[in-house]
């Protein structure tokens, strides 16, 4: 499979999402076992990653000619997740 096929099929987004999941798992495990000084709480981390994941899913939907309704839904959901993330960020800074 060449690079053009990865983009046309949307598989490039699948690869990126797998890397995001690996990153999240690594951060959670490193924090849990305190191998490095990280203060990662699982739920806030997942909420922080959610807008980006939803944007990638919208990209995948667009690359695979999904209905515009799915793309719009994913973009709107990403915006809502981003607002929740920002709200939690300001809440923890107080």
Q: What are the strands, taking DSSP E only, across 1-94?
A: none
Token code pair at residue 17: 């999402």
pLDDT of residue 36: 65
Per-residue burial over 47-71, b if 16 or more Cβ lie within 10 Å, else e, is bbbbbbbbbbbbbbbbbeeeeeeeb
pLDDT tens across 19-31, in order? 999 999 988 888 8
DSSP, res 33:
T
pLDDT tens across 19-78, in order? 999 999 988 888 877 766 667 788 888 999 999 999 999 999 999 999 999 999 999 999
Distance between CA atoms of residues 20 and 7, nearest Å? 18
pLDDT of residue 79: 97
- pLDDT higher at 32 or 92: 32
């Amino acid at each position: 499979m060449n690079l053009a096929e990865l983009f046309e099929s949307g598989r490039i987004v699948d690869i990126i999402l797998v890397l995001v999941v690996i990153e999240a798992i690594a951060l959670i495990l490193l924090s849990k076992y305190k191998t490095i000084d990280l203060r990662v709480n699982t739920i806030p981390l997942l909420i922080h990653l959610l807008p980006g994941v939803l944007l990638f899913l919208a990209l995948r939907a667009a690359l695979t000619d999904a209905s515009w309704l799915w793309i719009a839904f994913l973009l709107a959901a990403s915006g809502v997740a981003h607002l929740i993330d920002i709200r939690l960020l300001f809440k923890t800074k107080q």
